[in-house]
Amino acid sequence: MSAMQENISVLRFALAEAERERDAALARLEQAQDDRQNERREDQHDLRNLLAVVRAIARRSADGAETVDEYAAVLDGRLSAYLHVQAAIARDPARCVDLLTLVADELLRFGIKVGEGAALDGPPVLLTGRTAGLMALAFHDLAVELVPDAAPGADQEVVRVAWRSDPEARQLVIDWTAPRGSHADDAARWSSWVEQALQHQLDAAITRSEGEGARSAEFRLPAICWRADDGAGV
């Protein structure tokens, strides 16, 4: 083979490599564009969901309110609980929220601290963004029932929240137990819309019951709503 033929072979090989690199680069570019489009669609979907929930909060917070001030207080509390979670989701690329942090933060808004009135028990669990938002509303309205009976820093246990997995049903079971507070009538307002949202949007099951001086709520969340943190079994 002459030197010219060798040079031609080298050039052909280099051209073929360049074409393969070009094709690979174009494929990566197309994939990146598809990913951005999917992210935009997901962001738009999340925004529509957020606005729908905010509208529902604004509309349903008027249920049972006798004055404008009462409506404003209920609306502010619920919006703060929901938007606090949305801010946490925005900071997390995985768009998940730790269950223990979610409960502890919401109770702290009422001056109830873990170990000082609140007992939380359960393995590390992450809730999906939509689940965390609705559960924050549920925990908020449940916590309202504790006030003003739950004095900040009280030595006695005010509320106990425990969670576990049900492997057979593939559900996360969350149990909330607390003394029956003086705001117990707010339960009707809570169950009229938060419970419906949990059932219709998440396919969750909620059971509320009362015992002697105590009120409890059990939430059963399907597998699409949560996952064990760090991939460990719950």
Q: Which of 95, 123, 111, 205 is nearest to 159 (CA)?
A: 111
Residue that is written with structure tokens 């360049």 in the block = 18
CB atoms within 10 A of CB 171: 19
Q: Are 158 and 110 in contact (CB under 8 A)?
A: no
What token pair was written down for 55?
């509208």
State pTM to two decimals: 0.74
Domain boundaries, the chain: 95-231
If phi over 0 gives left and psi between -120 and 50 gives alpha, with beta otherwise, what is residue 115?
Answer: left
Spatial strand order of the sheet with 171-179 comes to 113-114, 117-121, 159-166, 171-179, 214-222, 205-210
Class of domain 95-231: alpha beta
Burial of 167 (0-12, 13-18, 19+ CB in 10 A): exposed
Per-residue pLDDT of the chain (234 residues), as tens digits, is 566 666 667 677 777 777 787 777 777 777 777 657 665 666 676 677 778 788 888 887 877 778 888 888 888 889 999 999 988 888 876 789 999 999 999 999 988 989 888 999 999 999 999 899 999 999 998 888 775 554 444 456 789 999 999 998 899 999 999 876 555 555 445 556 788 888 988 999 999 888 777 888 999 999 999 999 865 433
Residue 146 has phi, psi (to 5 degrees) of -80, -20
Please count the other Cβ atoms lying within 10 Å of the Cβ belonging to residue 82: 20
Q: Give Cα 59 to chain centroid, integer Å.
A: 21
CA distances to 9, 178, 179, 188 from 184, rounded to whole Å, are: 86, 11, 10, 8
